[in-house]
């Protein structure tokens, strides 16, 4: 039987309190349904055609809003796979070693077969003391969930869940459909809102629902548009909220656009390759959440170029000197299997104005020009 005490009671109370924002949004959504569908469409609208069109469009947006919100709340965040957890022997060895180079040497040996390329600000292996695992790229520990979350974006109190690799697409769709929901209500309610102030509505309780419905929809439209716009920008740059505030650090240094593959490929990272699923809250994101495509990253030679079980194609890296106007081959490097082909991507320009690293196959060796 689990021990009960002050700490256990506090944790239970905290879990209950975390649901308050979700309950608030649910109650607000329920009231908006009553105010719009019943009081506005059925009671106040006199034109039958207008009623039918508004009710059909409203219920479509309402269904997509609720579906994406539900998926964002109840999709469990993904945690690192077992291969990133230290073995019992490695944990014992790590506990015996003091913090410092010896400690890092243990982690380097444990991480030698893992596809990780990001580091801490000091250049050390990213390790979580609480979860006792080596963090995959873009993985962070959530203090609220007390877990390491793959491609963590942020912990959202409005969904009482961590937004990360497993539900980031759902979160984006939730923002999109909630914004469309509010804009639709505000647009179709506007004429009746004006009638309220010009005494053009009958003196019933419907007029107050209509007034508050417009205010609520307009207010949420402003806040949601800014939030949705910000996350659209993050998707276009293939960044998370955490990475926007603190750029990821690779072996060669900080690179704020290290995961950017160009606009089209960045979109596909979140929404997937099949466009028919883009607008539906079903999981279609690319990858496994543990390793990600990288752009212009000098990979760590101590790390494998592919996860276990995958074959990589031999690649030759070239240095393109813009000022010299010729291409000079440089020795092959261990490259990520996901290193992009810049000839087919947009927005994947080099961040150094003098050089551009381009991955090409050995059979496509260009001649000096």
Distance CA 35, CA 209 (A): 6
Query: Are the beta carbons of 278 and 272 closer than 8 angstroms?
Result: yes
Distance CA 300, CA 333 (A): 9
The reply to whether 156 belongs to the active site is: yes
Distance CA 358, CA 179 (A): 40
Distance CA 45, CA 39 (A): 9
Distance CA 327, CA 364 (A): 13
Q: How far is CA 339 from the centre of its chain?
A: 21
Between 206-237 and 263-271, two packed helices, what is the crossing angle to 10 degrees? 120
Distance CA 324, CA 317 (A): 18
Query: Are the beta carbons of 330 and 357 closer than 8 angstroms?
Result: no
Alpha-carbon distance values, 265 to 165, 272, 292 (Å) = 16, 9, 12
DSSP assignment letter at 238: T
Considering the candidates 54, 156, 290, 295, report the single residue annotated as catalytic.
156
Furthest-apart CA atoms within the chain: distance in Å = 83
Question: Catalytic residues, which ones?
Answer: 156
């Amino acid at each position: 039987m689990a021990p009960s005490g002050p700490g256990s009671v506090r944790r239970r109370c905290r879990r209950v309190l975390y649901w308050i924002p979700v309950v608030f949004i649910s109650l607000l959504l329920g009231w908006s349904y009553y105010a719009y569908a019943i009081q506005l469409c059925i009671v106040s609208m006199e034109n039958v055609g207008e009623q039918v069109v508004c009710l059909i469009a409203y219920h479509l947006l309402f269904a997509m809003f609720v579906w994406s919100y539900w998926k964002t709340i109840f999709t469990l965040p993904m945690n690192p796979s077992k291969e990133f957890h230290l073995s019992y022997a490695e944990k014992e060895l790590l506990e015996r070693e003091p913090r410092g180079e010896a400690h890092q040497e243990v982690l380097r040996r444990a991480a030698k077969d893992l596809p990780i390329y990001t580091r801490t600000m000091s250049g050390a292996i990213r390790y979580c003391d609480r979860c006792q695992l080596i963090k995959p790229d873009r993985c962070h520990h959530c203090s609220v969930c007390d877990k390491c979350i793959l491609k963590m974006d942020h912990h959202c109190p409005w969904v009482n869940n961590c937004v990360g690799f497993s539900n980031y697409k759902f979160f984006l769709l939730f923002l999109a459909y909630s914004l469309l929901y509010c804009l639709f209500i505000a647009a179709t309610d506007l004429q009746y809102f004006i009638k309220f102030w010009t005494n053009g509505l009958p003196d019933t309780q419907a007029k107050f629902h209509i007034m508050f419905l417009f205010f609520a929809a307009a207010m949420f439209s402003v806040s949601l548009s800014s939030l949705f716009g910000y996350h659209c920008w993050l998707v276009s740059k293939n960044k998370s909220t955490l990475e926007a505030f603190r750029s990821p650090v690779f072996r060669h240094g900080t690179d704020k656009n290290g995961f950017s593959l160009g606009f089209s490929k960045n979109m596909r990272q979140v929404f997937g390759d099949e466009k028919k699923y883009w607008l539906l809250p079903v999981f279609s994101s690319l990858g496994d959440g543990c390793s990600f495509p990288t752009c212009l990253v000098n990979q760590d030679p101590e790390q494998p170029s592919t996860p276990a079980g995958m074959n990589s194609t031999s690649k030759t890296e070239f240095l393109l000197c813009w000022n010299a106007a010729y291409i000079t081959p440089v020795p092959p490097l261990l490259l990520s299997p996901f290193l992009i082909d810049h000839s087919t991507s947009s927005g994947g320009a080099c961040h150094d104005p003098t050089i551009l690293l381009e991955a090409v196959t050995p059979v496509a060796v260009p001649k000096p020009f």
